[in-house]
């Protein structure tokens, strides 16, 4: 970046010279007085003063002065889409609040706090390409960064008193832009333009003068919604936002990764500081000296025009940019780091998705250490992972509950992580009053959602038995009683809980939680709730708990809608639309994009001309959706979790405390020291403070029958996982948030002891002492099925009734456990009388017939001769 | 049928009549016996001599095809290969054997050379592979298998590379099977028919196995068929060829009848010249087809 910066004041010339020499000059010492407090754990906190000072003919006039403090809760080892809570005090109060502050939708606000993700850090000692500048800050549309063809009276940036000299020109910001690009900007004779080109990580410069000259990730309807936000400060000047960071995986042009440093830049908009007015005072000068159309705290849902001098579009202008807070952030290793950095074959542990966030941080601690093995989590339904482990296709499985054994080998359950599931939600208070910070749910409400007992909309009203039910949870009196003050506008998304379609231990425990509640069980059995709501007849009498939630409804509404007539489908199933992984549910919640499949679009490529798809993302301010998420995902992505009822009037949110309480009431069977710990939902209700969604993830592996090396690998994993793997943090090998560490002392001590016990048993690979008869019975059962064993001394008598060629090899390879001695099997007989006799018979017959023929002929001739 | 006693020759030497006419019964008996004798001897000649010719020719063609495929890296690696395709070159220097192994162990497949049993992994791959070969007829590639001794070299050239195996031993019905191969090892079991006693070469009534093993085989793809038809098992025969045999015999009889009719009209020399080729060709085809009804290992 070559743009110098002039500082108006006594030392303009000297500072300008400095600015030309040093690409990014040190910020003006008078305006910027950072007071950074060292905060542990990667958190950030900084205070600085902001001011808006006009240059008038009479001298300088300060029209606004603020002392602003910005803090961020964590900034290190971030992963793509992780959300950081950024909060502040002392900012100018905002006005004209937009319904959606993200991206271009947030432009029509006054005095917002613009938060952007930029490549580079704010350190003048660094090389130029590692420093941040407005050109490395991401926006998802060009008019968030460039002012194109503005009328002369709207070109406010040209009268910014801090603006560098090139920027006051009629057309500016074209440095580095190829001459043939942005012809409309260059050719205009009277309009003013300022471009803030985007410099991609590759070095490519996107001029950002129209939508075609923006990076590809900024396309309309891009895969990810806009993350940059023009956030709103309340009348006290405080505010907060969950800012979603993007790694190079999500946004390659921005290109933030563990190797490329980035920053979150918070630019509070205090208004432009205007230069001395002309003589006479122009419209432009008057426009610059504006203080806002909207009252503090007011809303601008209609998107009416604002005073641009206090709007977010000029965030790059030096008056605003010099007030920036740059929060340096670092990214963790990408998810594929181990595959790239470690060529060894991975050891795949199969199973529970609850481990996903832990495995993300754990894996580099294994693969980057050559003394260890290459750990890999292969996510799959718990039962599938278990089956692989039992068959020997996976060394170990991650499960969170007891599974039925199908093989003959004993299996040990080593507690590895304490986590669980949550009912994640995203919900806004009515009238843009912010997000709902506490949502309370009870088992009956969950049962209503899962049994599809809310009709969702008028389409579902015709469903037999649902006509009198509230359309969605938002109008259910039971829900309103628990969560007063929410919007009561029904939506289809509020009629369902986005859940898993396949079998999982989470669904099993969730349904067990419902089944343990008398009211919920009675509701499922067909009894109406106190407000008269009844269960969907398709689910009436369903027996809980279940590991896989069935979709039983069959009602297809009859409407005049041509799209629905062309695509008849079960309406309530379209609302539920369960997915296969918890991560998909997390993504839906991050985007507040329900997976409700009821949107109808014209589609000329199909025969019917209509297609059905997913509804739109919910509008900011009117969001409400629920989903089943893992606690690890909820913490990573900053999702909110509902509090679940345990006893009457007691609602427990997932916290370390409530997880620990649940661990302390879980019990292991007395006669099974390698078994899992059971969390009885009845005990949860009695204990009151335990979180019902607590789940212990176990590393399940066979304690007999495994390969010795593999067994040692699994045992070492368990020991590492319950020692250094339980250190809570954000570095490689640490336990992320959302997990309760298993420690040697405290409520998790029994889990720690069990893990050590099972690790020893897995490493020893000894048969348990109890079933000791027939020690090698499994081996004897393995000789070829089609030939019986015979003693080595006597050759076996071939069994005649066996088919020929019965010595054919067994199709299955010899098991790893087969001992290569003792089996003596006789070769099976394969004989054929035809083969034995054919050649001699042919030979003898041929010769005899030939001689007989000769004799016969001779005899006949002789007789004929005598006659 | 036994030879009838020949009456003693008469001493008197009368001048013989120029063309003594045998009786009708004699003609029938003599002709039948001649036909029977020709048939038996033709079968023998075909099995032992003509079959060898056809086997050698097939081997030459297969060898060329396999060479091309190996050079072009298109040789099959399994698990399912069309029957009759060349798979591997099998060399056993101890008995001077060099044969191209084809896919399939039906009697007809083994005309061309040793055949690989289709429900086992391909020769050289980890696991157990069975290769069947004839011991007497059609070139008799495996006729000297019984003379192999433990430690003899068995060399395979396959799509996956060259591999040398060592013979573990020869076994017959009732002998103990060798121990299961270790994981990753390849075992090749050569199977043929063998006789016993004085006329062992002529009476190959039971099966003979030679096991050879190498410690590390080539990786075997999954999906090998679980079973093969009964006609592809050792010493088995099938009746699949019967319809075809009927067709060939009908054609043969038709051509012979046509030749006989033609003899009334045209000269014998002309008819011989015209008819001999189709008669021989049909006889060859009919015999080959008939041989498919016989046990596959002889």
Q: What share of chain A in percent tops pLDDT 70?
A: 88
B117 touches chain A (CB under 8 A): yes
Distance from CA of B72 to the nearest CA of A (A): 30
Q: Which of B279, B82, B27 is nearest to A860 (CA)?
A: B27
ipTM score of the complex? 0.83
Q: Rounded CA gap, A103 and A312, in Å?
A: 11
CB A758 within 8 A of CB A715: no
> Does residue A778 register a pLDDT over 60?
no
CB-CB under 8 Å, B3 with A842: no
pLDDT of residue B237: 81
**CA–CA gap between residue A245 and residue A81 (Å, rounded):** 5
Question: Touching check for B28 and chain A: CB below 8 Å?
Answer: no
pLDDT in tens, A131-163: 899 999 999 999 899 998 888 888 899 889 898
Question: Is the Cβ of B119 closer than 8 Å to some Cβ of chain A?
Answer: yes
- Give me the pLDDT at residue A117, please: 94
Whether A625 shows a pLDDT value over 90: the answer reads yes
Question: What are the 10-residue block averages of pLDDT along chain B, 298 residues in total?
Answer: 49 59 77 88 89 92 93 86 91 91 91 92 91 91 89 91 91 83 87 84 86 89 84 84 93 92 90 90 91 88
Chain A window 761-800: which residues touch B at a Cβ cutoff of 8 Å? 787, 790, 792, 795-798
The encoded tokens of residue A531 equal 């407000």
Considering chain A, what is the average pLDDT of its residues? 84
A370 pLDDT higher than 90: no
Within 8 A by CB and 6+ apart from A105, the residues are A98, A99, A226, A620
pLDDT tens digits along A408-423: 888 999 999 999 999 9
Nearest to B209 among A807, A831, A856 (CB): A807
Whether B221 has its CB under 8 Å from any CB of chain A: the answer is no
Do residues A573 and A495 lie in contact, with contact meaning Cβ atoms separated by under 8 Å?
no
- Interface contact flag, A829 B20, Cβ < 8 Å: no
Share of chain A above pLDDT 90, in %: 43
Residue among B210, B183, B189 at smallest CA distance from B126? B183
| Closest residue on chain A to B121 (Cα) | A811
Q: Which residues of B touch A839 (CB under 8 A)?
A: 44, 47, 136, 202-203, 298
Q: Which helix (H) or strand (E) holds B245?
A: helix B242-265
CA distance A303 to A252: 31
pLDDT score, position A432: 74
More confident residue, A479 or A224: A479
Judge: B204–A827 Cβ closer than 8 Å, yes or no. no
Which token pair is A447?
């049962």
pLDDT at B8: 52
B43 touches chain A (CB under 8 A): yes
CA nearest neighbour of B52 among B122, B113, B101: B113
Does pLDDT of A800 surpass 50? no
pLDDT at A809: 42
What pLDDT shows up at residue B66?
A: 93
* For residues A474-502, average pLDDT: 92
Q: CA–CA distance from A644 to each of A240, A445, A446, A662, A666 (Å)?
A: 26, 10, 10, 13, 18
Inter-chain CB proximity A861 and B37 less than 8 Å:
no
Chain-chain contact of B177 with A842 (C-beta, under 8 angstroms): no
Residue with tokens 């980057």: A368
Burial class (CB in 10 A: 0-12, 13-18, 19+), A511: buried
Chain pair A-B, CB pairs under 8 angstroms: 211
Say if B34 is an interface residue toward chain A (CB within 8 Å). Answer: yes
Instruction: Tell me phi and psi for residue B157, to 5 degrees.
Output: -120, 115
Cα-Cα-Cα-Cα dihedral sign, residues B204, B207, B208, B209: positive
Structure tokens at B26: 């004699």
- Chain A contact probe: residue of B235, B292, B294 with most A CBs at under 10 A: B235
Contact B298 A838 (CB under 8 A): yes
pLDDT digit string, tens, across residues A499-509: 999 999 999 99
Are the beta carbons of A855 and B43 separated by less than 8 Å? no
Nearest C-alpha in B relative to A824: B176
Residues of B in contact with A828 (CB under 8 A): 173
Cβ <8 Å between B33 and A853: yes
Answer yes or no: pTM beyond 0.80.
no
* Contact flag B237-A834 (C-beta cutoff 8 Å): yes
Q: What is the mean pLDDT of residues A564-588?
A: 91
**What is the pLDDT at residue A34?**
41
Which residues in chain A have Cβ-Cβ distances shorter than 8 Å to B230?
Answer: 803
Q: Give the chain A residue whose CA is nearest to the CA of B37.
A: A846
User: What CA–CA distance (Å, rounded) separates A267 from A133?
Assistant: 12
Cβ A831–B235 below 8 Å, yes or no?
A: yes
The reply to whether A842 touches chain B by the CB within 8 Å rule is yes
The per-residue pLDDT for A794 is 35
Q: Say yes or no for a CB contact (<8 Å) between A804 and B136.
A: no
B236 shares contact with chain A (CB less than 8 Å): yes
């Amino acid at each position: 970046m070559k743009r110098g910066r002039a500082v108006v004041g006594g030392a303009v010339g000297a500072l300008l010279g400095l600015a030309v020499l040093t690409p990014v000059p040190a910020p003006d010492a008078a305006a910027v007085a950072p007071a950074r407090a060292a905060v542990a754990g990667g958190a950030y906190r900084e205070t600085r003063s902001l001011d808006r000072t006009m240059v008038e003919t009479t001298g300088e006039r300060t029209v606004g002065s603020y002392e602003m403090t910005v803090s961020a809760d964590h900034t290190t080892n971030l992963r793509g889409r992780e959300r950081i809570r950024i909060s502040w005090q002392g900012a100018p109060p905002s006005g004209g609040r937009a319904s959606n502050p993200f991206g271009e939708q947030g432009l029509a606000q006054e005095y917002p706090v613009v938060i952007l993700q930029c490549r580079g850090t704010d350190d003048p000692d660094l090389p130029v390409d590692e420093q941040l500048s407005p050109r490395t800050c991401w926006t998802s549309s060009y008019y968030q960064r460039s002012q194109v063809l503005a009328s002369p009276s709207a070109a406010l940036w040209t009268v910014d008193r801090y603006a560098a000299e090139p920027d006051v020109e009629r057309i500016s910001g074209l440095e580095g832009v190829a001459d043939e690009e942005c012809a409309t900007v260059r050719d205009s004779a009277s309009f003013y333009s300022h471009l803030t080109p985007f410099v991609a990580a590759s070095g490519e410069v996107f001029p950002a003068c129209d939508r075609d000259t923006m990076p590809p990730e900024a396309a309309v309807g891009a895969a990810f919604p806009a993350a940059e936000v023009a956030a709103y400060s309340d009348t006290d000047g405080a505010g907060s936002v969950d800012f979603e960071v993007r790694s190079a995986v999500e946004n390659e042009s921005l290109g933030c990764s563990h190797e490329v440093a980035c920053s979150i830049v918070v630019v509070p908009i205090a208004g432009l500081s205007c230069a001395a007015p002309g003589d006479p005072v122009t419209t432009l000068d008057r426009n610059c000296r504006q203080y806002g159309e909207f009252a503090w705290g007011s809303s601008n849902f209609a998107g009416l025009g604002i005073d641009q001098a206090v709007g977010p579009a000029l965030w790059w202008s030096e008056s605003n940019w010099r007030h920036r807070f740059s929060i340096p952030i670092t990214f963790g290793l990408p998810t594929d780091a181990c595959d790239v950095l470690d060529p060894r074959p991975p050891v795949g542990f199969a199973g529970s998705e609850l481990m996903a966030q832990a495995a993300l941080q754990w894996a580099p601690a294994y693969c980057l250490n050559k003394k260890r093995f290459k750990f890999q989590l292969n996510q799959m339904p718990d039962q599938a992972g278990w089956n692989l482990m039992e068959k020997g296709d996976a060394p170990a499985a991650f499960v969170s509950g007891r599974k039925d054994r199908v093989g003959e080998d004993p299996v040990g359950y080593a507690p590895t992580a304490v986590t669980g599931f949550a009912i994640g939600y995203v919900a806004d208070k009515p009238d843009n009053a912010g997000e709902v910070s506490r949502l309370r749910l009870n088992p009956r409400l969950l049962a209503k959602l899962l049994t599809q007992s809310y009709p969702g909309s008028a389409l579902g009203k015709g469903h037999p038995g649902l006509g009198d039910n509230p359309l969605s949870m938002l109008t259910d009196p039971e829900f309103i009683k628990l969560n007063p003050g929410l919007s009561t506008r029904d939506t289809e998304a509020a009629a369902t809980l986005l859940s898993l379609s396949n079998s999982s231990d989470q669904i099993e425990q969730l349904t067990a939680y419902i089944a343990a509640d008398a009211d919920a069980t009675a509701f499922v059995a067909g009894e109406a709730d106190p407000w008269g709501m009844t269960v969907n007849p398709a689910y009436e009498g369903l027996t809980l708990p279940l590991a896989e939630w069935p979709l039983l409804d069959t009602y297809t509404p009859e409407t005049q809608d041509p799209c629905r007539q062309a695509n008849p489908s079960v309406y309530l199933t379209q609302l539920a639309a369960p997915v296969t992984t918890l991560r998909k549910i997390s993504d839906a919640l991050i985007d507040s994009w329900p997976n409700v499949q009821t949107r109808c679009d014209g589609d000329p490529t199909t025969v019917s001309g209509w297609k059905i798809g997913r509804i739109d993302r919910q509008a900011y301010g009117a969001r409400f959706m629920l989903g089943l998420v893992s606690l690890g995902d909820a913490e990573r992505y900053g999702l909110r979790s509902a509090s679940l009822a345990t006893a009457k009037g007691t609602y427990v949110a997932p916290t370390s405390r409530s997880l620990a309480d649940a661990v302390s009431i879980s019990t292991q069977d007395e006669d099974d020291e390698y078994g899992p710990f059971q969390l009885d939902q009845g005990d949860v209700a009695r204990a009151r403070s335990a979180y019902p969604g607590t789940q212990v993830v176990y590393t399940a592996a066979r304690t007999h029958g495994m390969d010795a090396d593999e067994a040692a690998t699994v045992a070492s994993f368990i020991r590492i996982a319950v020692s250094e793997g339980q250190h809570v943090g954000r570095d490689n090998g640490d336990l992320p948030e959302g997990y309760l560490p298993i420690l040697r002392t405290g409520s998790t001590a029994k889990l720690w002891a069990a893990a050590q016990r099972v690790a020893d048993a897995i490493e020893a690979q000894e048969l348990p002492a109890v079933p000791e008869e027939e020690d090698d019975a499994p081996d004897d059962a393995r000789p070829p099925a089609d030939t019986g064993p015979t003693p080595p001394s006597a050759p076996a008598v071939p069994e005649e009734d066996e088919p020929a060629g019965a010595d054919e090899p067994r199709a299955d390879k010899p098991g790893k456990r087969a001992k290569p001695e003792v089996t003596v099997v006789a070769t099976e007989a394969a004989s054929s009388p035809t083969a034995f006799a054919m050649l001699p018979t042919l030979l003898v017959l041929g010769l005899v017939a030939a001689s007989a023929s000769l004799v016969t002929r001779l005899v006949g001739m002789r007789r004929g001769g005598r006659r | 049928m036994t030879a009838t006693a020949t009456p003693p020759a008469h001493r008197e030497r009368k001048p013989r009549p120029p063309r003594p006419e045998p009786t009708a019964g004699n003609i029938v008996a003599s002709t039948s016996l001649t036909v029977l004798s020709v048939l038996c001897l033709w079968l023998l000649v075909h099995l032992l001599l003509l079959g060898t010719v056809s086997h050698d020719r097939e081997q030459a063609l297969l060898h060329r095809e396999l060479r091309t495929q190996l050079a072009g890296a298109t040789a099959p690696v399994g698990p399912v290969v069309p029957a009759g395709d060349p798979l591997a070159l099998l060399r056993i220097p101890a008995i001077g054997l060099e044969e191209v192994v084809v896919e399939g162990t039906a009697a007809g497949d083994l005309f061309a050379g040793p055949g690989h049993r289709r429900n086992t992994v391909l020769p050289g791959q980890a696991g157990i592979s069975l290769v069947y070969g004839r011991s007497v007829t059609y070139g008799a590639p495996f006729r000297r298998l019984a003379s192999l001794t433990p430690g003899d070299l068995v060399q395979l050239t396959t799509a996956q590379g060259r591999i040398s195996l060592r013979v573990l031993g020869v076994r017959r019905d009732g002998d103990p099977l060798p121990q299961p191969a270790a994981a990753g090892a390849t075992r090749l079991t050569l199977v043929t028919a063998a006789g016993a006693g004085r006329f062992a070469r002529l009476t190959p009534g039971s099966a003979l196995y030679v096991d050879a093993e190498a410690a590390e085989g080539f990786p075997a793809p999954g999906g090998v068929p679980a079973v093969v038809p009964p006609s592809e098992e050792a010493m088995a025969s099938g009746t699949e060829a019967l319809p075809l045999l009927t067709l060939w015999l009908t054609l043969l009889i038709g051509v012979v009848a046509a030749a006989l009719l033609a003899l009334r009209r045209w000269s014998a020399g002309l008819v011989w010249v015209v008819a001999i080729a189709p008669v021989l060709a049909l006889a060859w085809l009919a015999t080959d087809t008939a041989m498919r009804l016989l046990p596959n290992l002889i």
